[in-house]
């Protein structure tokens, strides 16, 4: 078992302890994958179950993204691969939401010292929306840009539903800016934006050799220097690890708790209406923010043993109704002259979100019906 405390690394990167049998593949810059077709040129990120790399496709002379899955999860990722394949093969190329979803180029397996790794090749991906927000004043997008992003994300969801897929894990970390110019750009031009790769040599403090399966250095994930143009900004929805086919929903998905739809909290069947004992902490918010829960759900959850006792909703007094929360978060302690949305705009937004945030999925607006909502149509003009 690798103990990261035994090592000096030098750059912020993934947990070195995951370079073990069943874990990460030890990738180095300039490595060639898939019979030499893909050359690793930079790192874009990492997660608990994968590392993400920028690679040069020498066959097609373009830049791509490669997700290298840990060996222990490479077989489990088959569902994600099935969904990506379905989107590639069954989606309507003319659908306006298609360009807002990342698409599979191909997949292959790579044998390494830590096991057999699934490699998923996608188009060139840009920065996470969550990272863009961190650089925005007061950590939030400009109102006009946020409105544009919400419409594009809705189009992406409608496209997924047209192929029979529900995403299951939509949040700002899974929404990326699209960088079409980067796909054909030279590496020099990309490095001008990303900066050259920063590496940290991996060394044991005791001077002993590295254990098998540990890379000689780690690469710090790149930081994009892209300036966001609200007039031309386009997004892509990524990461289908929690996605499922609507006709065959799983019993549970691992969506982060704050984003879980009410039916997941009550362990009711999942549907494509899912826009998003510890889950019970969400119930007071459902009560106050969304305006209540079907009492039958609570009774059935108790009878089925989902809840051991009636949920405590006493903390609901600390939450605000949806419309009040929208007004407070947008206007409070801010110079209204610098804001680009009016109270009338927020009223339209509130009515739009009310259609989305309905506890009972049977009564929740379908994504395709929301395309005609005044909030969405106004953004098109």
pLDDT at position 276 is: 46
Whether 228 maps to a domain, the answer reads no
Q: What is the pLDDT of residue 230?
A: 67
Output the pLDDT for position 168.
87
Q: How many C-beta neighbours within 10 Å does residue 10 have?
A: 15
Per-residue pLDDT at 42: 97
**pLDDT, tens digit, 9 for 90 and up, residues 46-90:** 988 999 999 999 999 999 999 999 999 998 778 889 999 999 999
pLDDT band (50, 70, 90) for residue 289: confident
pLDDT of 381 above 50:
no
Q: Taking 90 as the threshold, does the pLDDT of residue 181 lie above it? A: no
The most confident of the ranges 105-109, 166-170, 225-229 is: 105-109
Say if residue 274's pLDDT is above 70: no
Q: Environment class of residue 245 by beta-carbon count within 10 Å: exposed (0-12), middle (13-18) or buried (19+)? A: middle
259: in domain: yes
Query: Under a CB-based contact definition with an 8 Å cutoff, are residues 348 and 138 in contact?
Result: no
Tell me the pLDDT of the chain averaged across its residues: 88
Q: pLDDT tens digits, residue range 316-359?
A: 888 889 999 999 988 887 777 778 889 999 999 999 999 988 88
Whether the per-residue pLDDT at 148 is higher than 80: the answer is yes
Instruction: Give the pLDDT of residue 99.
Output: 94
CA 179 to chain centre: 17
CA angle at 314 for the pair 309 and 315, rounded to the nearest 5°: 120
**pLDDT(264) > 80:** no
Q: Is residue 282 part of a domain?
A: yes
357 vs 95, higher pLDDT: 95
Could you tell me the two tokens for 352?
A: 């739009």
User: How many domains are contained in the chain?
Assistant: 1
Backbone angles phi, psi at 54, to 5 degrees: -90, 130
Distance CA 187, CA 191 (A): 6
Is residue 350 domain-resident? yes
Residue 238 has pLDDT above 90, yes or no: yes
pLDDT value of residue 1: 73
List CB contacts of 229: < 8 A, sequence separation 6 or more.
Answer: none
Let me know: does 53 contact 27? Beta carbons within 8 Å. Answer: yes
Whether residue 359 is contained in a domain is answered as yes
| The token pair that represents 220 in the structure block | 């710090």
Is 78 contained in some domain? no
Q: Which two tokens stand for residue 41?
A: 């040129």
The per-residue DSSP string of 145-204 comes to HHHHHHHHHHHHHHHHHHTTEE----SGGGEEEE-HHHHH--HHHHHHHH-SPPEEE-EE
Q: What is the CATH number of the domain that holds 258?
A: 1.10.510.10
Q: Is the dihedral of CA 326, 329, 333, 338 positive or negative?
A: negative
Share of the chain above pLDDT 90, in %: 52
Question: Which residues form the domain of 307?
Answer: 249-381
380 falls in which pLDDT band (50, 70, 90)? low
Residue 163 belongs to some domain of the structure: no
Is residue 370 one of the residues assigned to a domain? yes
């Amino acid at each position: 078992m690798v103990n990261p405390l035994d090592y000096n690394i030098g750059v912020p990167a993934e947990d070195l302890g995951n370079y073990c049998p069943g874990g990460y593949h030890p990738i180095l810059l300039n490595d060639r994958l898939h019979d030499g077709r893909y050359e690793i040129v930079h790192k874009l990120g990492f997660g608990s179950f994968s590392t993400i790399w920028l690679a040069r496709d020498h066959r097609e002379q373009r830049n791509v993204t490669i997700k290298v899955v840990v060996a222990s999860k490479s077989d489990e990722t088959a569902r994600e691969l099935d969904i990506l394949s379905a989107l590639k093969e069954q989606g309507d190329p003319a659908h306006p939401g298609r360009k807002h979803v990342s698409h599979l180029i191909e997949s292959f397996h790579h044998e390494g010292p830590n096991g057999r790794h699934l490699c998923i090749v996608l188009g060139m991906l840009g920065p996470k929306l969550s990272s863009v927000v961190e650089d925005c004043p007061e950590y939030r997008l400009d109102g006009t840009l946020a409105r544009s992003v919400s419409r594009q994300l809705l189009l992406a969801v409608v496209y997924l539903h047209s192929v029979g897929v529900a995403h299951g894990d939509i949040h700002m970390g899974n929404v990326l800016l699209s960088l079409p110019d980067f796909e054909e750009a030279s590496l020099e031009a990309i490095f001008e934006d990303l900066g050259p790769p920063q590496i940290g040599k991996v060394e044991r403090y005791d001077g002993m050799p590295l254990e098998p399966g540990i890379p000689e250095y780690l690469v710090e994930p790149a930081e994009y220097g892209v300036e966001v143009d609200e007039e031309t900004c386009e997004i892509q929805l990524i990461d289908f690890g929690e996605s499922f086919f609507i006709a065959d929903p799983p019993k549970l998905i691992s969506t982060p708790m704050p984003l879980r739809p009410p039916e997941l909290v009550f362990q009711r069947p999942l549907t494509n209406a899912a826009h998003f004992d510890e889950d019970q902490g969400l119930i007071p918010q459902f009560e106050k923010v969304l305006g209540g829960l079907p009492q039958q759900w609570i009774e059935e959850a108790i009878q089925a043993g989902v809840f051991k006792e009636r949920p405590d909703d006493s903390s609901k007094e600390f939450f605000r109704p949806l419309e009040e929360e929208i007004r407070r978060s947008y206007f409070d302690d801010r110079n209204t002259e610098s804001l680009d949305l009016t109270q009338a705009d927020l009223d339209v937004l509130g009515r739009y979100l009310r259609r989305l945030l309905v506890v009972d999925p049977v009564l929740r607006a379908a994504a395709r019906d929301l395309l005609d909502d005044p909030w969405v149509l106004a953004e098109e003009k």
